[in-house]
Amino acid sequence: MVETRDDPQRGAATQAGAVRRRVIGGRPVGAIGLGAMPMSLEGRPDRAQAIRTIRAALDAGITLIDTADAYSTGCADIGHNERLVAEALRSHGTGKEEALVATKGGHVRPGDGSWLLDGRPEHLKAACEASLVALAVDVIDLYQLHRPDPAVAFADSVGALAELRDEGKVRLVGLSNVTVQQIEEASEIVAVSSVQNQFSPAFRSSGAEVTYCRERGIAFLAWGPLGGMGAAAALGSAHRAFAEVAHRHGVSPQRVALAWTLAHGDVVIPIPGASRPVTIVDSARAAELFLDDDDLAMLGMAA
């Protein structure tokens, strides 16, 4: 459900002990996930900082980490991000049941900064095998089709994920960058546990997918929830309003943006990116920030 006027948790900015929780395919997770991508692309931090950032997320109560085989600088270090996540979880002592790791297949990085698509079943199956190795697990918690490949029948790509699940290599199946029609088509083939689309105060065009997921209890992972930069300016034309609400509650505008996203329903899980502990620790606390009706009206979201 959307957080409503009747929600007892609404009406106060931060209520003692009130922390939102979410569920993905029956598995409980915190309401804020970590988007690990910035730790593996061009301009990434050194390995030690990346590990500190992931560990800080775990310490802050984050139990969902979003990664992908393609989060790398190119084919030479494909799986870079997944290996970082595996190393951080191991060194932190976090057990496989304590954090849900969501990875993706279907994008390839030739090494020139571009992102190409390969949604062929044979590629997805090989990519999944490589992700199992990079993540050092026997089964992947949540495997997402990164993006539909127009050169491949969508049903064939989804069919590959269904087979991976039937083979026990993948526990849950998710989709990313899809339309309502594609979610419906995929649901005929396999149980879809999550949808990951771009959604933020500055990018609201996935509203139809949010509504669809909310009505069916499918987890909606909001990628780029801070507009990709985390800067207040990336909050779009409502920038000033976010700054004002943030000032009112004594929190960062980024935390307000994440709380705004969370207010779209109890299936919504923002996955803010981070490459520094301080940013993910701040973002994690959005799970306990509840915006009131005045706040939401000011931010352009009527209750």
Ligand X SMILES: NC(=O)c1ccc[n+]([C@@H]2O[C@H](COP(=O)([O-])OP(=O)(O)OC[C@H]3O[C@@H](n4cnc5c(N)ncnc54)[C@H](OP(=O)(O)O)[C@@H]3O)[C@@H](O)[C@H]2O)c1
Q: Annotated active-site positions, please? A: 71
Q: Provide, rounded to whole angstroms, the least separation between the CB of residue 111 and ligand X.
A: 19
- Contact code string over 50-89 relative to ligand X, x by CB under 6 A: ----------------x-----------------------
Q: Provide, rounded to whole angstroms, the least separation between the CB of residue 257 and ligand X.
A: 9
Q: Provide, rounded to whole angstroms, the least separation between the CB of residue 121 and ligand X.
A: 20
| Chain residue whose CB lies nearest ligand X | 273
Distance CA 223, CA 102 (A): 13
- Contact code string over 246-275 relative to ligand X, x by CB under 6 A: ------x-xx---------------xxxxx
Sole binder of ligand X in the list 256, 283, 287, 288 (CB under 6 A): 283
DSSP string, the chain: ----TT-TT-SSSS-TT---EEEETTEEEESS-EE-GGGTSTTPPPHHHHHHHHHHHHHTT--EEE--TT-SSSGGGTTHHHHHHHHHHHHHT--TTTSEEEEEESEE--SSS--EE---HHHHHHHHHHHHHHHT-SSEEEEEE-S--TTS-HHHHHHHHHHHHHTTSEEEEEEES--HHHHHHHHTTS-EEEEEEE-BTTB-TTHHHHHHHHHHT-EEEEESTTTTT--GGGGGGGHHHHHHHHHHHTS-HHHHHHHHHHTT-TTEEE--B-SSHHHHHHHHGGGG----HHHHHHTT---
Beta bridge mates, 144: 104, 174
Binding segment toward ligand X, per CB under 6 A, in 93-101, 118-126, 221-229, 239-247 = 221-229
Sole binder of ligand X in the list 37, 99, 124, 210 (CB under 6 A): 37
By CB under 6 A, the count of residues binding ligand X is: 30
Distance CA 175, CA 183 (A): 8
Residue 128 or 302: which CB sits closer to ligand X? 128
Residue 11 or 86: which CB sits closer to ligand X? 86
- Contact set for ligand X, span 94-133 (CB under 6 A): none
Q: Provide, rounded to whole angstroms, the least separation between the CB of residue 8 and ligand X.
A: 27
Determine, following the binding rule CB under 6 A, whether residue 223 of this chain makes contact with ligand X. yes
Sole binder of ligand X in the list 103, 157, 177, 182 (CB under 6 A): 177
Residue 53 or 94: which CB sits closer to ligand X? 53
What residues make contact with ligand X under the rule CB under 6 A? Answer: 35-38, 66, 146-147, 176-177, 196, 223-230, 252, 254-255, 271-276, 279, 282-283
